[in-house]
């Protein structure tokens, strides 16, 4: 039987939670986001959505994945955000220097199958061009039949400068 060990980062996360809990004062925030905003963004650690958009806890739903893609799961979250929790605007944020621009799905799948001895049907959804991909994500959101007819914006975050650039 394997014994679970706590890593340094896990222990640090728990210690930080204790610090957070000691000053916690947000138990009365309402369930719907105060700014009626949903954000779909890349998971890149250099992009802190809350800082870039000056969002506070309770302001918006933030959905993140590799590439900031309108995958089925992201769309599911957006539908819930809008239809059940009242958001009325969507911002999609992708960024310069995205890792999703640096590989091809088939190469990674082949390498992982060789490394692990198992091939898995898992799409990575890499893309070769940032702005074209961002436009496609915005269009996928706008065209979903359960997404409200609300503004859907597409922005590129420039990791080099911290600026947001409107694309869609």
Domains, the chain, with CATH or none: 29-166 (3.40.1050.10)
Residue 31 has pLDDT above 90, yes or no: no
pLDDT 10s digits, 128-161: 999 999 999 999 999 999 999 999 999 999 999 9
Closest of 81, 93, 92 to residue 148, by C-alpha:
81
Residue 109 has pLDDT above 80, yes or no: yes
> Residue 52: helix, strand or coil by DSSP?
helix
Q: What's the chain's Rg over C-alpha atoms?
A: 18
> Residue 123: helix, strand or coil by DSSP?
coil
Q: Find the DSSP H helices in the chain.
A: 8-22, 49-52, 72-79, 105-116, 130-143
Phi, psi dihedral angles at 157 (to 5 degrees): -90, 125
- Kindly list the distances between the CA atom of residue 35 and the CA atoms of 15, 59, 95, 96, in Å, as whole numbers in the listed order: 31, 5, 23, 27
Calpha distance 31→35 (Å, rounded) = 12
pLDDT 10s digits, 40-96: 999 999 999 999 999 999 999 999 999 999 999 999 999 999 999 999 999 999 999
Half-sphere exposure of 106 (CA within 13 A, CB side): 0
- Kindly list the distances between the CA atom of residue 100 and the CA atoms of 18, 21, 38, 128, 137, in Å, as whole numbers in the listed order: 35, 35, 22, 8, 14
């Amino acid at each position: 039987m394997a014994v679970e060990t706590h890593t340094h980062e896990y222990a640090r996360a728990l210690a930080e939670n204790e610090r957070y809990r000691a000053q916690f004062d947000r138990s009365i925030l309402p369930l719907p986001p105060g700014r009626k905003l949903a954000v779909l963004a890349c998971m890149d650690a250099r992009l802190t959505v809350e800082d870039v958009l000056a969002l506070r806890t309770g302001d918006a739903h933030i959905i993140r994945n590799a590439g900031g893609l309108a995958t089925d799961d992201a769309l599911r979250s957006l539908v819930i955000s809008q239809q059940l929790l009242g958001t009325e605007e969507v911002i999609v944020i992708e960024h310069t220097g995205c890792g999703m621009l640096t590989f091809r799905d088939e190469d990674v799948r082949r390498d992982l199958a060789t490394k692990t001895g198992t091939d898995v049907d898992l799409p990575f959804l890499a893309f070769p061009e940032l702005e074209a991909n961002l436009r496609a994500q915005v269009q996928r959101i706008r065209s979903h039949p359960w997404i409200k007819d609300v503004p859907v914006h597409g922005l590129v975050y420039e990791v080099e400068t911290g600026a947001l650039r409107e694309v869609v």
